[in-house]
């Protein structure tokens, strides 16, 4: 596992799969502010709420010149179903490859639940500036009020 990058560090430019069958990279958003929100699993209560909260504020993020991108290890097909089921507006990307973006950032990490250890996505959000550098990090995110907090920080950037 690599060390988590800090404020001012560039985000690794690793390709992620889109539900439409293409790829997306941080460099695709050069010159724009970007919110990368990493979450554990599609169609689970906390992750659904987080995606719905970002969807509810999607127009405000767009008006502020900020691009949203939700990332999990779910497959592109699962993302497509998740987007359709909830009418999500924030684009989603799949980080399924070994050594992918969440691995490079240290967000795919060992977790524990009820005494059991397993690898999982640590709910984390990165605010990335127009130069592709990390401007702010939210780690081990609590979903309630998070999207609004990220919007306020993005507007201030």
What residues are labeled active site? 47
Q: How far apart are the first and last CA of the chain?
A: 30
Q: Are strands 92-94 and 66-72 parallel, antiparallel or unpaired?
A: parallel
CB-based contact 24:58 (threshold 8 Å): no
3-state secondary structure at position 151: helix
Is 54 within 8 Å of 68 (Cβ atoms)? yes
Other C-beta atoms within 10 Å of 66: how many?
Answer: 23
Is the Cβ–Cβ distance between 127 and 154 less than 8 Å? yes
- Count CB atoms within 10 A of the CB of residue 15: 17
């Amino acid at each position: 596992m690599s060390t988590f990058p800090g404020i001012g560090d560039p985000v690794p430019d690793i390709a992620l799969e889109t539900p439409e069958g293409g790829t997306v990279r941080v460099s695709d958003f050069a010159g724009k502010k970007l919110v990368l929100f990493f979450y554990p699993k599609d169609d689970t209560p906390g992750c659904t709420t987080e995606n719905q909260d970002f969807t509810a504020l999607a127009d405000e993020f767009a008006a502020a010149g900020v691009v949203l991108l939700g990332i999990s290890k779910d497959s592109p097909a699962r993302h497509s179903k998740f987007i359709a089921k909830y009418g999500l507006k924030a684009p989603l990307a799949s980080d399924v490859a070994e050594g992918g973006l969440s691995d490079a950032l240290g967000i795919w990490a060992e977790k524990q639940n009820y005494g059991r250890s397993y690898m999982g996505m640590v709910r984390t959000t990165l605010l990335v500036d127009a130069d592709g550098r990390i401007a702010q990090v939210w780690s081990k995110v609590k979903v309630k009020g998070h999207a609004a907090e990220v919007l306020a920080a993005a507007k201030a950037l």
